Structure 1
Amino acid sequence: MFTPEQRDRTRARLLARAESDDSITGFAHTGSHATGTGDRWSDTDIVLAVDGDIAETVNRWTAWIYCEFDTRHHWDLPVPGASVVRLFLLPGWVELDITFAPETEFGARGPAWQTLFGTPHAQPPFPPPDRNTVIGFAWHHALHAHICLERGRSWQAAHWINALRDQLITLACLRLDLPTAYSKGAHLLPDEITAPLESTLIRSLTAPELRRALTATITATAAELDHSDPELATRIRPMLTELT
């Protein structure tokens, strides 16, 4: 694994490259590095303001990053707008996330932002997940886990049980105003929410174990619904109980 020193040298080389590139008019850190909360495992998240053709700059920087860092892989994270978010895997498991943004989209969408140079523009914040959609995913996943068990599809049932737990965690984080993406707020949830979740973990792919885990997950989901949307909980709790 990478050392913090290796990661910091990578960041310094990226900043130097950006400062020497006429098409780059802004550079900002995002993520934990921008807020001073990072640790030795934190990855590198930067935003570049691009003057001119985004695709040309992305391709040129990608070629340079592969050559400069012996990069092993990259892929793009779909995002709204004209920005391109490209993730790179460097040797030593250094993860490099670069957002190539038009100058008009260069700006903070949340508190994790540190401008090193350039002029940021006001941006709308990232919207939180829609509560109704999260609840919809929850009952959808519970139903499909039950159906997979009836069909004898153990691996698919395990997938839906785990996915249901993810929606439950998102719903709880949303209610308590904690980070929702990628379970980033899960470690901040109170014990009365997380303790019951231990019983939702699947210990084997036998039918009895999967049914036990599904029952535990549905029970925890129903309890969260009582807090997040009591009126809706009264309507769908009996139906959720049918799946256990």
Structure 2
Amino acid sequence: MSWLRTATQYLIPTLCMVCEQAQAEIVCFPCRDRIAQNRLQFGPSCQICALPIGPHQSLCAACEQVKPAFDHVTYLDLYQEPLRQTLHLLKYQKRLACASGFALLWNIFHQHTLKACDADVLIPVPLNPTKLAARGFNQAWEIAKRFDLPKSIRRIPNLVICHPTHTAQASLNRAERTASMRDRFELKVGAASMIHDQHIVVIDDVMTTGSTIHSLATTLKKSGAKRVSAWTMLRTPPWES
């Protein structure tokens, strides 16, 4: 019935999540081209945290000095337009269709990453119970469950518990974020056996200082994880973190 689905797309158009123009898919082709142009501007990046580096470097100065608990970061675009506002629509205006759009873009621009992924388990960065209750969904999981992953990778949405903090991360500087994230994550009872000696992929919507992923990766590795990779939709450049 693929012909019916195709016909329905054009007879009952949707709005592009980026430009909000009526068309057949959740992200129109001009907006895909704009994102592709953004991606062409990416220069050399740190092999661990993915921040910009010089042409003859492999790691940034921060990772050279102290390597984080996570092993590698992959991202879709920098924290900039056209996707920054779209992410806000997903998180703060509950436009869940945008999760499908972000997954579509990831499936398009990271086909090789998905096909070559040797991970064992995929998890979202968990929200603390208060934030999850207020928002009604975990945006990272809504995106992650729509990835075109190899069937060998298990998707587990509730492997880790996130303890609440009293201050929003967005209001903190780098040092304060790092301090606030210490001991914030805890594996659920019995979960350690599911990650022992496993490669874990952690999904997040935005990565800024990396303190959240570092804290989560620390918890996972203390519990026996072999490797932790991070996939984030948007990566905040160092001049904005």
What is the TM-score normalised by the length of structure 1? Answer: 0.23
- Name whichever structure is richer in helix by fraction: 1
**Higher RCO, 1 or 2 (CA under 8 Å, sep at least 6)?**
2
